[in-house]
């Protein structure tokens, strides 16, 4: 028995050594492959959607089908040895040929998914925002609303209105995120900004609530082509509110006309019977008319001191301000009608 064992021992050792050498060689080749681009000659990228419940097998098969892998086994083995095959996060991933297998697994384990952007514009309305939102196919669309009134009801907002209550900014989202969730983020950002702005308001104002601040700021936003003019425009409106003068601001009339507005504001337009028509009704309109920027909100609660009551667009984005109606009429003739006298 002992002699037989001594005879086979060298052969067994050789087998073990060869086996270990093969394992070491295989591991070396695997790690070398893991740090080489998957498809260096592949110029096009591929968008892969890794859904909840998917496995590395399905992803590897998809990448093989699109020419990023010659086979699936090495990626599956690398995933198992690294432990990353159990840490992959669902999402949409942008994959290009320069990505190494190890970088691919790291990307999926970190959740470095494709992100998209949606911009809420300063001076835009809820109807315009919803129309553009519907064009983002990566979002999951659950909202049915098409205007400010229906959106207010559908979201169940605690604020008095929806118009003007979504902070203008660029919002990132992932495929599958809902339009409702995106708008809630914008709404909460606006609520926070409004609270901060109202708490830091100036004195001697002729607006008396956060709601009125948003309404006035939305008008300032639409009336100002130049940021530097916003404080003086706010001054004009505060002075008019103090004197109970009609605000007589064109953007509120345009908002009242809605989709019927053809770009030409006529005398008939100024007679439209709407609470938004500030040529007929005193005070602020019932809701904002657009999304105000942070700068417009600041202007609403920090008007530039002065005694201007009128302004007219110069045509270059700036405004000409006047203290009296006579001065204003001269400015209108000069900048609107092109008359020097």
327 shares a domain with 209:
yes
Do 176 and 290 fall into the same domain? no
* Residues 319 and 223 grouped into a single domain: yes
* pTM of the predicted model as reported, rounded to 2 decimal places: 0.83
Instruction: Examine residue 21 and state whether it is found in any structural domain, yes or no.
Output: no
For the domain that residue 52 is a member of, what is the CATH number?
3.30.1490.480
Q: End of a domain among 135, 163, 196?
A: 196
Same-domain pairing of 225 and 130:
no
Of 113, 137, 157, the domain-final residue: 113
- Cα 214 to Cα 289: distance, rounded to the nearest angstrom: 9
Model confidence band, residue 294 (pLDDT cutoffs 50, 70, 90): very high
* Average per-residue pLDDT for the chain: 90
Q: 188 in a domain, yes or no?
A: yes
**Chain-centre distance for alpha carbon 33:** 40
Q: What is the pLDDT of residue 50?
A: 87
Tens digits of residue pLDDT in 180-197: 999 999 999 999 999 999
Residue 337's pLDDT is what? Answer: 78
Q: Are 109 and 84 in contact (CB under 8 A)?
A: yes
Among 113, 147, 174, give the residue marking a domain's end: 113
Res 21: pLDDT = 47
Confidence of residue 30 (pLDDT cuts 50, 70, 90): confident
pLDDT for 85 beyond 90: no
Q: Report if residue 14 sits inside a domain.
A: no
Mean pLDDT of 261-278: 92
- Predicted confidence (pLDDT) at residue 149 exceeds the cutoff of 80: yes
Q: What pLDDT, on the 0 to 100 scale, is given for residue 14?
A: 46
Shared domain check, 306 and 214:
yes
Between 288 and 62, residue with greater pLDDT: 288
Q: Is the pLDDT of residue 5 over 60?
A: no
315 with 231, same domain: the answer is yes
Boundaries of domain holding 292: 202-335
Residue 341 located in a structural domain: no
Segment among 2-11, 94-103, 150-159, 238-247 with least mean pLDDT: 2-11
For residues 208 and 329, state if they share a domain.
yes
* Within a domain: 13: no
**Pick from 143, 122, 115, 116: which is nearest to 131 by CA?**
143
Give the three-class secondary structure for 277: coil
- Name 153's Cβ contacts closer than 8 Å, sequence gap at least 6: 145
Residues 256 and 191 in one domain: no
Confidence tier at 44 by pLDDT (50, 70, 90):
confident
Q: Spell out the residues 6+ positions from residue 75 whose beta carbon is closer than 8 angstroms to its own.
A: 56, 60, 63, 69, 101, 104, 105
Find where tokens 């020419």 sit: 67
Clarify whether residues 211 and 310 are in a common domain. Answer: yes
20 domain residue, yes or no: no
- Domains identified in the chain, total number: 3
What is residue 6's predicted lDDT score, i.e. its pLDDT?
A: 57
Shared domain for 213 and 328, answered yes or no, is: yes
For residues 6 and 332, the model is more confident at 332
Q: Are residues 191 and 208 in the same domain?
A: no
Encode 46-84: b = buried (16+ Cβ within 10 Å), e = exposed.
bebebeeeeebeebbebbeebebbeebebbbebbeeeeb
Does residue 156 lie in a domain region?
A: yes
- Do 250 and 314 sit in the same domain of this protein? yes
Read off the pLDDT of each residue in 87-115 and give the average, rounded to a whole number: 91
Tell me the three state secondary structure of residue 48.
strand
Interacting residues of 149 by C-beta distance below 8 A, sequence separation 6+: 162
- For residue 241, tell me if it sits in a domain: yes
What integer is the mean pLDDT of 330-341?
Answer: 81
């Amino acid at each position: 028995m002992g002699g037989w064992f001594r005879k086979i021992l060298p052969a067994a050792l050789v087998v073990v050594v060869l086996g270990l050498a093969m394992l070491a060689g295989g591991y070396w080749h695997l790690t070398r492959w893991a740090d080489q681009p998957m498809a260096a000659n592949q110029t096009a990228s591929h968008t892969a959607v890794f859904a909840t419940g998917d496995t590395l097998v399905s992803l590897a098969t998809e990448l093989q089908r699109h020419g990023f892998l010659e086979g699936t086994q090495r990626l599956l083995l690398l995933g198992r040895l690294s432990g990353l095959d159990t840490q992959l996060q669902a999402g949409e991933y942008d994959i290009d040929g320069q990505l190494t297998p190890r970088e691919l697994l790291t990307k999926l384990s970190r959740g470095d998914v494709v992100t998209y952007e949606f911009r809420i514009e300063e001076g835009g309305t809820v109807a315009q925002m919803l129309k553009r939102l519907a064009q983002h196919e990566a979002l999951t669309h659950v909202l049915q609303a098409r205007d400010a009134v229906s959106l207010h009801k559908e979201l169940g907002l605690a604020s008095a209105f929806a118009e003007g209550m979504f902070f203008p900014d660029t919002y990132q989202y992932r495929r599958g995120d809902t339009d409702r969730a995106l708008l809630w983020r914008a709404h909460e950002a606006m609520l926070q900004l409004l609270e901060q702005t109202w708490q830091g308001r100036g004195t001697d104002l002729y607006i008396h609530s956060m709601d009125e601040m948003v309404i006035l700021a939305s008008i300032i936003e639409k009336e100002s082509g130049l940021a530097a003019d916003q404080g003086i425009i706010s001054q004009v409106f505060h002075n008019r509110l103090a004197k109970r003068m009609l605000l007589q601001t064109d953007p509120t009339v345009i908002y009242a006309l809605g989709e019927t507005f053809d770009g030409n504001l006529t005398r008939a337009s100024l007679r439209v019977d709407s609470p938004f028509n500030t040529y007929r009704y005193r005070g602020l309109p019932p809701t904002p008319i657009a999304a105000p920027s942070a700068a417009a909100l600041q202007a609403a609660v920090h008007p530039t001191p002065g005694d201007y009551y009128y302004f007219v667009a110069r045509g270059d984005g700036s405004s000409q301000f006047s203290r009296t109606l006579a001065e204003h009429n001269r400015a209108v003739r000069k900048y609107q009608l092109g008359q020097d006298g």
